[in-house]
Amino acid sequence: MSTAVATPPRAPLAPLTTGPRPPLAGRVIKIVIAYAVLILFALIYIYPFLIEIATSFKTGADATAHPLSLVPSTWTTQESFSQLEGVNFPRWFTNSVVVALFVTVGRVFFDSLAGYALARLHFMGRRAINGAIIAVMAVPGVVLLIPKYLVLVQLHMYDTYYGMIIPLLADAAGVFIMRQFFISIPVEVEEAARIDSAGTFRLFWSVVLPMARPAVITLTILSFQGSWNEFSYFLVARGSPQLNTLTTGVASLLSGQLGAGNQFPLKLAAALLMTIPTAVVFFVFQRYFIRGASAGAVKG
């Protein structure tokens, strides 16, 4: 059987794609089963989000009595969206936007600079830094929560916007992604521009970076998503409620005993609103996400 693979003449290629076909009825059944399984799983994956949306328009009592129903008994935002301002939600949203914006721009810029240097420029210690970047990627993030807090306090950056933004401005995985990309593009274009004696930064900014568009978009999306969803770091980097981002803010809703009842419509409305920006970015740039999934794999 093992030798059969080597049999040379395989002329009729077309029908071979499926091999000897099973009887039609069998194939139909298989397809039906495949769809049934996929639809079942799609329901399991989508229904929670539908419940999230529906519950945001219910009253607390309605949500408790009919958790499964996707149609509110009475449509209302009285116990959900209307309550958001009272819990300082707009402030959290603004903070999240500010942090995500700065972190995304910073990461894309600094990571691609460093990635380019590591891929192309010759300088002393390049190999050591390369190794260090890869080593740093292997350190599990949760392990560093306490030490990061300690350093922030020592640098007088604890509980400030600086402390929430600056440490996130560069990440090893992003540098690695950019470096891999720069290595993969041909060096000739740069060589040509170099002969024109363009400065290294100008060369990078106006020749190399535009060529790296797909990688830059992937990194932009990963950085935005990463900083928008970041939770544990903001938990230790700040203490005052004024600096709550959406993640830590909604977390305080989950643990806090504000007012009466379980407040599920309010919590789910807040969760829904914080999901929307990522959802929009996801649906617009889906193919970059999917590319990033394997690239970001290194990130762990």
Partner 1 sequence: MSATRSRGGIRGREGIAGWLFITPVVVILGLFLLLPIIVAIWVSISDWSGKGSPLNASFIGASNYETLLVKPGLSQQDLGASLRNNLYYVILVVPIQTVLALFLATILNARRLKGKGFFRTAFYFPSVTSSVAIVTVFLFMFTGTGVVNQILSWFGIHGPNWFNDPRGVLRLILSGLHIVNTDNPPGWLTSHGFLGMSWYDWLSGPSVAMCALIILAVWTTGGTFMLMFLAALQDVPDDVVEAATVDGATRWQIFRSVTIPALRPTLFLVITLGLIGTWQVFDQIYLTGQGGPAKTTLTPAFLSYQAAFGDFKWGQGAAIAFILFAIIVVMTIIQRIVMRERKTLPRRRRFGTAAPAGTENTTMAASSTGGSR
**155-194: which residues touch partner 1 (CB under 8 A)?**
155, 166-167, 169-170, 172, 175, 180
Compare residues 76 and 134 and give the one whose CB is closer to partner 1: 134
Q: Provide the minimum distance between the beta carbon of 166 and partner 1 in the complex, in angstroms, as a whole number.
A: 7
Compare residues 76 and 109 and give the one whose CB is closer to partner 1: 109
| From 81, 89, 116, 182, residue interacting with partner 1 (rule: CB under 8 A) | 116
| From 88, 91, 97, 110, residue interacting with partner 1 (rule: CB under 8 A) | 110
Window 246-275: residues binding partner 1 (CB under 8 A): 246-247, 250-251, 254-255, 262, 264, 267-268, 270-272, 274-275
Q: Provide the minimum distance between the beta carbon of 101 and partner 1 in the complex, in angstroms, as a whole number.
A: 17
Q: Which residues contact 60 (CB under 8 A, 6 or more apart)?
A: 79, 261, 262, 263, 264, 265
Instruction: Round the CA-based radius of gyration of the chain to a whole number and report it.
Output: 26
User: Is the distance from CB of 173 to CB of 296 less than 8 angstroms?
Assistant: yes
Residue 239's SS3 state is coil
| Cα 206–Cα 209–Cα 211 angle in degrees, nearest 5 | 100
Compare residues 75 and 139 and give the one whose CB is closer to partner 1: 139
Q: Which of 92, 222, 116 is nearest to 168 (CA)?
A: 222
> Is residue 44 a contact point for partner 1 (CB under 8 A)?
yes
Q: How long is the chain?
A: 300
Helix residue spans in 141-285 (DSSP H) = 145-154, 161-165, 172-184, 188-195, 200-203, 209-211, 213-229, 232-237, 246-255, 264-284
Q: How many CA atoms lie within 13 A of 126 on its CB side?
A: 12
| From 29, 32, 70, 146, residue interacting with partner 1 (rule: CB under 8 A) | 146
User: Is the distance from CB of 27 to CB of 21 less than 8 angstroms?
Assistant: yes
Compare residues 86 and 183 and give the one whose CB is closer to partner 1: 183
Considering only the stretches 42-50, 73-81, 83-91, 211-219, report the one whose residues sit in contact with partner 1 under the rule CB under 8 A. 42-50
Window 220-249: residues binding partner 1 (CB under 8 A): 225, 228-229, 231-232, 235-236, 246-247
Q: Provide the minimum distance between the beta carbon of 45 and partner 1 in the complex, in angstroms, as a whole number.
A: 5
> Is residue 279 a contact point for partner 1 (CB under 8 A)?
yes
> Is residue 38 a contact point for partner 1 (CB under 8 A)?
yes
> Is residue 207 a contact point for partner 1 (CB under 8 A)?
no
Compare residues 77 and 170 and give the one whose CB is closer to partner 1: 170
Q: Provide the minimum distance between the beta carbon of 235 and partner 1 in the complex, in angstroms, as a whole number.
A: 7
Backbone φ and ψ of 21, nearest 5°? -75, 135
User: Packing angle between helix 213-229 and helix 172-184, nearest 10 degrees?
Assistant: 170
> Is residue 216 a contact point for partner 1 (CB under 8 A)?
no
